[in-house]
Amino acid sequence: MNLPAVALIVYRRPQLARALVASLASSRPEVLWVIADGPRSYHEADLCRQTREAVEAAVSWPCQVKRVYADENLGLRKRVETGLDALFTQEPEAVILEEDCHPTADFLPFCAEMIGRYRENPKMAGIAGNCFLPRSATLSSSYFYSRFLHIWGWATWSRVWREYDRAKWAWPSEGITRYFPQSRPDEIRYWNLVYSRVASGQIDTWDYRWTSHLWSRGLCAVVPGENLVCNHGFGATATNTRDEDVEVGIERELPLRPPYVGPGSIQANERLDRMIFENHFLRTEGKKNLWGRLAAGLCKQLSWVSRQ
């Protein structure tokens, strides 16, 4: 099995980074890129150094390690974007994992097969590692095509990444219906709210911009019928997602082994994408809103008590 290069995006959590490398040992990729952001403060400098050292020390098989280390903090969006720019100037394709996204043993073989199978297909954006379908969803294939290229472990080709001109990114005035005219009202509300926050700078991350770029090109992704990556990064030390229970929608965690049976024509499966939206995106937002309302209520109570 010829594995593509694997890129690890790390920051300041050495234990997670060490465990990530250990999860790759059974597949033994020959080329490993380590993309690391720099510290935001003096207090983070040791953690950033320890994380880089943990990654390099954990590689227990013959492997070429390529380093893209920032001396200063670039921030999540700029570090990921510039790191992947460096990666794809040398690699025609790659698998990308952040320090908290740990794959099963089936993930890299699946990515390798799909990368080869769709390498020359201009309709394909990449390969996802996550499956957010409910267990009740019926599938007649090992994977399906989706509008969602989930990024908790994913793969793509340099030809796709190089088309992403982030300087020209904009959210269309028509909103999500520019890309998906048949969107339902809850989808319109959800995505237009998210992207209005991205456009205003309230949300400053790379993945939403990247996703809408893929939508603007009419591309779709390969999504496995089982979940192949687990996100261990939720909690107080996370950069963005600090709610430890926000990983909702993962119910399908069985092995996925070859031969991989593909679906029919290459177009996003609207039925399954609707299930993903309801099972993951809406449930995640609902949970955030619930905790937001509870937190707001608690703050009001504390404010009232302090005035007594």
pLDDT reported for residue 2: 86
- Do the Cβ atoms of 38 and 48 come closer than 8 Å? yes
- Do the Cβ atoms of 99 and 20 come closer than 8 Å? yes
For residues 249-265, average pLDDT:
93
pLDDT reported for residue 286: 58
Kindly provide the b/e burial profile for residues 101-140, where b requires at least 16 CB atoms within 10 angstroms of the residue's own CB. bbbbebbbbbbbbbbeebeeeeebbbbbbbbbbeeebebe
In the chain the domains, ranked by start, together with CATH numbers, are 1-99 (3.40.50), 105-163+217-308 (no CATH)
Q: Are strands 93-98 and 154-157 parallel, antiparallel or unpaired?
A: antiparallel
**Gap between the Cα atoms of 35 and 80, Å rounded:** 8
3-class SS string, 122-172: CCEEEEECCCCCCCCCCCCCCEEEECCCCCCCEEEEHHHHCCCCHHHCCCC
pLDDT surpassing 60 at residue 132: yes
pLDDT tens-place string over residues 79-120: 999 999 999 999 999 999 999 999 999 999 999 999 999 999
- Do the Cβ atoms of 99 and 51 come closer than 8 Å? yes
- DSSP-derived secondary structure letter, 29: -
**Who has greater pLDDT, 198 or 301?**
198
Report yes or no on whether pTM surpasses 0.75: yes
For residues 138-148, average pLDDT:
97
pLDDT surpassing 50 at residue 294: no
**Who has greater pLDDT, 246 or 80?**
80
pLDDT reported for residue 301: 37
pLDDT surpassing 80 at residue 299: no
pLDDT reported for residue 233: 66
pLDDT reported for residue 260: 98
pLDDT reported for residue 249: 86
pLDDT reported for residue 59: 97
